């Protein structure tokens, strides 16, 4: 079972690599959106420093949203979702493997890019740790919640907008804790409470989201 | 021999199956049995529910009524054990176009955890060994279908579900599929095929799916 699970992750990474551009597009979008802000609000460092955390987090959230709609749709269209559903492991584990692959190709690269954008946004030097730690805990939750939305809209033509409407409200808690952790760190406060909240959210969603997404996929296949 | 086959213990058994699509009952009170070495051919006109029954046996569609048993116990009690011994070849290929034929087959075998034949041999059985390294994206519909059927040979399973396996195949590929199916049945394997055309090789049982509504019953099933 664990070999099949690891093989599924490798499969999705291989496909992302072959089809090209999956994570590059998300990173390019992330960088472009954030770099619009210094142009839009002006290069004054105090101003940028104040909006840095929010801008980076919102842009990361949007980049993840953009990458969600193909999560299961490509597999549904060519019939390979049938084959994945018929693997001798529970469908929830298939979903979890695909979600991990999705995080490895979007959430992780975004997290690694974020400090560079912090430089661009004049982020306070004390806040880099909180930004990266928050995104390391937060982006997997984005992928997990996104998997539910992607599974619910998998059979819907042009379901991207619907997916955004379903998923965005659920992203709000992660945004709040992620941004306030960065701001707390910038002002010299402890961030352990924020990290604990994000960890709790992650522990909850990693159990619930694959099961919920698997149920929606079963409905789509039925 | 024929008589022995029909009296042998049924390995796969469907009893009293019914399928509901939307508000419409597609078929009802459907019974079938498949024993080791048997071929069950599903016939019926378009929309009769051949694909639905196929997906129902595979476990993708939940029966509206009735039950499917595998080796005497309901499939729903141990779906993973059933899946491990069954290969479903749907009318969609389920191939990744960015990967080559051999990569697709390797992936399939590795995901299922057991390999019965190397990909090259499986492709050779369908006459496309020379296309092993070609990305599926560049293949014709018939070539894709051959690759998708070659999956039957890379991972062991005693039950094959073939939904419209002959679509897009040329005569030589149909012959090759016939001999592959015969070899599988000689080894005690079971095959359920939904097809309008005849599968070459030794004939099997035929199950005709008829609509439950008596008013729609008069039409001939399409050939």
Q: Among residues A96, A125, A119, A73, which one has the least CA distance to residue A4? A: A96
DSSP state, residue B210: -
What is the C-alpha to C-alpha distance for residues A26 and A110, in angstroms, rounded to an integer? 8
Please report residues of A whose CB lies closer than 8 A to that of B57.
none
Please report residues of A whose CB lies closer than 8 A to that of B95.
78, 80
B11: three-class secondary structure by DSSP: strand
Q: Are A155 and A76 in contact (CB under 8 A)?
A: yes
DSSP state, residue A104: I
pLDDT for residue B214 is more than 50: yes
- Minimal CA separation from B2 to chain A, in Å: 32
Q: Are A217 and A151 in contact (CB under 8 A)?
A: yes
The average confidence (pLDDT) of chain B is: 87
What is the C-alpha to C-alpha distance for residues A173 and A184, in angstroms, rounded to an integer? 16
Whether chain B has a CB inside 8 Å of the CB on A13: the answer is: no
Mean pLDDT of A80-93: 94
Q: Among residues A90, A80, A83, which one has the least CA distance to residue A214? A: A90
Mean pLDDT of A144-159: 92
Closest residue in B to A83 (Cα–Cα): B94
Whole-structure pTM over 0.80, yes or no?
yes
What is the C-alpha to C-alpha distance for residues B166 and B217, in angstroms, rounded to an integer? 27
Q: Verify whether the Cβ–Cβ distance A86 to B108 is below 8 Å.
A: no
- Counted residue by residue, chain B has a size of 223
What is the C-alpha to C-alpha distance for residues A115 and A82, in angstroms, rounded to an integer? 40
Angle at A118 between CA A116 and CA A124, to 5 degrees: 135
Whether chain A has a CB inside 8 Å of the CB on B80: the answer is: yes
B70: three-class secondary structure by DSSP: strand
Whether chain A has a CB inside 8 Å of the CB on B71: the answer is: no
Please report the pLDDT score of residue A7 as a whole number.
Answer: 94
Query: Beta partners for B18?
Result: B65
pLDDT for residue B10 is more than 60: yes
**pLDDT tens profile A23-63:** 788 899 999 999 999 999 988 999 999 999 999 999 999 99
pLDDT for residue B72 is more than 50: yes
What is the C-alpha to C-alpha distance for residues A153 and A71, in angstroms, rounded to an integer? 11
Please report the pLDDT score of residue B8 as a whole number.
Answer: 61
The torsion angles phi and psi of A61, rounded to 5 degrees, stand at -60, -45
pLDDT band per the 50, 70, 90 thresholds, residue B3: very low
Whether chain A has a CB inside 8 Å of the CB on B97: the answer is: yes
What is the C-alpha to C-alpha distance for residues A144 and A149, in angstroms, rounded to an integer? 9
A36: three-class secondary structure by DSSP: helix
- Cα pseudo-dihedral A80, A84, A87, A92, rounded to 10: -170
Strands (E), A9-155: none
For residue A221, give the nearest of B60, B97, B98 by CB distance: B60
What is the C-alpha to C-alpha distance for residues A108 and A100, in angstroms, rounded to an integer? 10
pLDDT band per the 50, 70, 90 thresholds, residue B103: very high
Name which of A18-22, B39-43, B59-63, B97-101 the model is least confident about: A18-22
Residue A179 CB neighbours (<10 A): 22
Strands (E), A98-214: none
Please report residues of B whose CB lies closer than 8 A to that of A84.
111
Closest residue in B to A79 (Cα–Cα): B94
pLDDT for residue A121 is more than 50: yes
pLDDT for residue B132 is more than 60: yes
Q: Verify whether the Cβ–Cβ distance B113 to A4 is below 8 Å.
A: yes
Q: Verify whether the Cβ–Cβ distance B90 to A86 is below 8 Å.
A: no
What is the C-alpha to C-alpha distance for residues A84 and B141, in angstroms, rounded to an integer? 22
Q: Are B169 and B146 in contact (CB under 8 A)?
A: yes
pLDDT for residue B24 is more than 80: yes
Whether chain B has a CB inside 8 Å of the CB on A219: the answer is: no
The average confidence (pLDDT) of chain A is: 93
Whether chain B has a CB inside 8 Å of the CB on A70: the answer is: no
How many contiguous H segments (helices) and E segments (strands) does chain B have?
7, 9
Rounded to 5, what percent of chain A is helix, strand, coil? 85, 0, 15
For residue B96, give the nearest of A7, A8, A80 by CB distance: A80
pLDDT band per the 50, 70, 90 thresholds, residue B187: very high
Q: Verify whether the Cβ–Cβ distance A78 to B95 is below 8 Å.
A: yes
Please report residues of A whose CB lies closer than 8 A to that of B136.
none
Mean pLDDT of B14-31: 90
Whether chain B has a CB inside 8 Å of the CB on A86: the answer is: yes
A121: three-class secondary structure by DSSP: coil
pLDDT for residue B5 is more than 70: no
Whether chain A has a CB inside 8 Å of the CB on B22: the answer is: no
Q: Verify whether the Cβ–Cβ distance A78 to B61 is below 8 Å.
A: no
Q: At what angle do helices A108-120 and A45-68 cross, to 10 degrees?
A: 160
Whether chain B has a CB inside 8 Å of the CB on A92: the answer is: no
pLDDT for residue B1 is more than 80: no
Please report the pLDDT score of residue A19 as a whole number.
Answer: 81
Please report residues of A whose CB lies closer than 8 A to that of B60.
82, 85-86, 221-222
H/E stretch holding B223? none
- Biggest alpha carbon distance in chain A? 58
DSSP state, residue B221: P
What is the C-alpha to C-alpha distance for residues A2 and B221, in angstroms, rounded to an integer? 47
Please report residues of B whose CB lies closer than 8 A to that of A11.
107, 111
Which percentage of chain A shows pLDDT scores above 70?
99
Examine the predicted complex and report whether its ipTM is higher than 0.90.
Answer: no
Mean pLDDT of B133-153: 94
- Minimal CA separation from B12 to chain A, in Å: 17
pLDDT band per the 50, 70, 90 thresholds, residue B198: confident
Whether chain A has a CB inside 8 Å of the CB on B92: the answer is: yes
H/E stretch holding B67? strand B65-70
């Amino acid at each position: 079972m664990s070999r099949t699970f690891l093989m599924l992750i490798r499969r999705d990474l291989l496909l992302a690599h072959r089809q090209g551009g999956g994570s590059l597009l998300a990173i390019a979008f992330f960088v472009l959106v954030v770099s619009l802000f210094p142009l839009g609000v002006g290069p004054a460092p105090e101003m940028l420093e104040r909006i840095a955390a929010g801008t980076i987090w919102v842009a990361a959230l949007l980049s993840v949203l953009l990458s969600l709609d193909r999560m299961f749709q490509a597999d549904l269209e060519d019939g390979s979702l049938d084959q994945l559903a018929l693997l001798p492991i529970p469908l929830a584990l298939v979903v979890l493997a695909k979600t991990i692959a999705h995080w490895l190709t979007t959430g992780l690269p975004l997290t690694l890019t974020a400090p560079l954008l912090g430089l661009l946004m004049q982020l306070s030097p004390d806040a880099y740790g909180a930004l990266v730690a928050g995104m390391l805990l937060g982006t997997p939750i984005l992928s997990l919640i996104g998997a539910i939305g992607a599974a619910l809209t998998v059979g819907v033509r042009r379901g991207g907008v619907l997916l955004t409407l379903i998923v965005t409200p659920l992203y709000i808690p992660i945004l709040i804790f992620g941004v306030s952790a960065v701001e707390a760190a910038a002002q010299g406060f402890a961030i352990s409470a924020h990290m604990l909240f994000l960890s709790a959210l992650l522990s909850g969603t990693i159990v619930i989201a694959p099961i919920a997404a698997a149920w929606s996929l079963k409905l789509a296949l039925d | 021999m024929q008589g022995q086959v029909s009296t042998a213990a049924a390995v796969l058994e469907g009893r009293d199956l019914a399928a509901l699509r939307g508000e419409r009952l597609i078929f009802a009170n459907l019974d079938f049995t498949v024993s080791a070495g048997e071929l069950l051919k599903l016939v019926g006109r378009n929309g009769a529910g051949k694909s639905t029954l196929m997906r129902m046996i595979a476990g993708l569609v939940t029966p509206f009524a009735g039950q499917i048993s595998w080796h005497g116990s309901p499939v729903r009690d141990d779906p993973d054990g059933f899946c491990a011994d069954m290969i479903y070849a749907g009318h969609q290929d389920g191939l990744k176009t960015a990967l080559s034929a051999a990569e697709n087959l390797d992936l399939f075998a590795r995901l299922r955890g057991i390999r019965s034949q190397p990909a090259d041999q499986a492709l050779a059985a369908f006459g496309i060994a020379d296309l092993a390294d070609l990305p599926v994206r560049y293949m014709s519909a018939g070539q894709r279908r051959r690759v998708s059927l070659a999956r039957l040979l890379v991972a062991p399973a005693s039950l094959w579900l073939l939904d419209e396996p002959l679509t897009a195949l040329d005569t030589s590929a149909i012959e090759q599929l016939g001999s592959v199916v015969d070899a599988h049945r000689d080894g005690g394997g079971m095959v359920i095929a939904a097809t309008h055309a005849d599968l070459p090789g030794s004939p099997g049982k035929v199950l005709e799916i008829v609509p439950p509504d008596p008013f729609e019953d008069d039409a001939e099933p399409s050939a």
